[in-house]
Amino acid sequence: MTGLPRAEEPLSWYPATLKEEDWLLPAPDAPQGGALAEKINAMLWRGTGFVVLRGLDLAGLTEKQCVERCAQVVGQVCTPVGFRLQRSSGELLTAATAPAVPRSAGSGDPAALHGDAQVLLPHMDRGERQEPPRLLALLCIRPASHGGESLLASGPALYERLAAEQPEALRALHLNHHFGAGPDFDRVRPVFRHEGRTLRVHYNHYWIRRGQEETGTPFGPEQLSALHTMETLLQDPAMVMSLPLRRGDLLLVNNSAVLHGRTPFKDAGTPGAQRCYARIWAD
């Protein structure tokens, strides 16, 4: 495509082209670093952009201790590349606290309080921040009774698809968008940008919409069309991988290369049995 660079790193992937060995690793029985951390980081920053460590031993741990276990493992992965855990990390996400929104990331929905959450389309975490975290970690403490699979989409693959089929939309997504506004909170950046050979994708429909509203900047027709195209692609099974996580699975995501979300889920609402995840950010 003329006038726009190629997406180089991490690798572009589509659900149909992935094999389990591209993203799945067994969780270590004991704290480890060295070769395992190097392999995980290679997969995160030069490979698929996400990794699942399968089977962390959570037996006998409280929810708080599960968060600490998650932070411990993430810290081991982050140290070799100079990342640190963010101070605001260490959250528990349950059916009563996880965001539940129709179609795209945004504000809470009362349905979440009754254990019935709607689809959360793939997005970047904390897109409103000046520098969003580079790494997102989600530890499955308890899966939902029904649904709640993780959704993952490759930023480079989205870029390639747009370049081939919707180059006008891709050019519009290279322009600056507002990601929220207010005192010390005016964030302006493109959805796609290149840093050398690395493609960064900065997409969160809710924060873009909120930013445009708070700055009083209406969407132009090209921008509106481009955002609609992104929303459409993020509902295409050919672009989005659905991944059910088991208890003890730790999902690590390169937050500027792979967008993440989840399918709708339902819980019985029994205390202590609701869907529960630990979330950690690092950069």
Are the C-beta atoms of residues 250 and 36 closer than 8 Å to each other? Answer: no
Domain with CATH 3.60.130.10 in the chain: 15-148+245-282
DSSP3 helix / strand / coil % (the chain, rounded to 5): 30, 25, 45
Q: pTM higher than 0.85, yes or no?
A: yes
Residue 277 has pLDDT above 80, yes or no: yes
Residue 35 has pLDDT above 70, yes or no: yes
One DSSP character per residue, 5-42 reads PPP-BS----GGG--GGGTEEEPPSS---HHHHHHHHH
Provide the CATH topology of domain 15-148+245-282: Double-stranded beta-helix (3.60.130)
Are the C-beta atoms of residues 279 and 137 closer than 8 Å to each other? Answer: yes
What value does the mean pLDDT take over residues 166-179? 92
**Residue indicated by tokens 């493609």:** 199
One DSSP character per residue, 210-242 reads HHHHHHT-PPPHHHHHHHHHHHHHTT-TTTEEE
pLDDT digits (tens, 9 = 90+) for 236-265: 999 999 999 999 999 999 999 999 999 999
Shortest CA distance to 208 belongs to which of 218, 198, 200, 199? Answer: 218
pLDDT digits (tens, 9 = 90+) for 80-120: 666 777 645 567 776 554 444 434 433 333 333 334 568 89
Distance CA 28, CA 260 (A): 24
pLDDT digits (tens, 9 = 90+) for 44-79: 998 999 999 999 999 999 999 999 999 888 888 877
Are the C-beta atoms of residues 63 and 92 closer than 8 Å to each other? Answer: yes
Checking DSSP bridges between strand 24-26 and strand 50-54, what pairing results, if any? parallel
pLDDT at 30: 63
Distance CA 254, CA 250 (A): 13
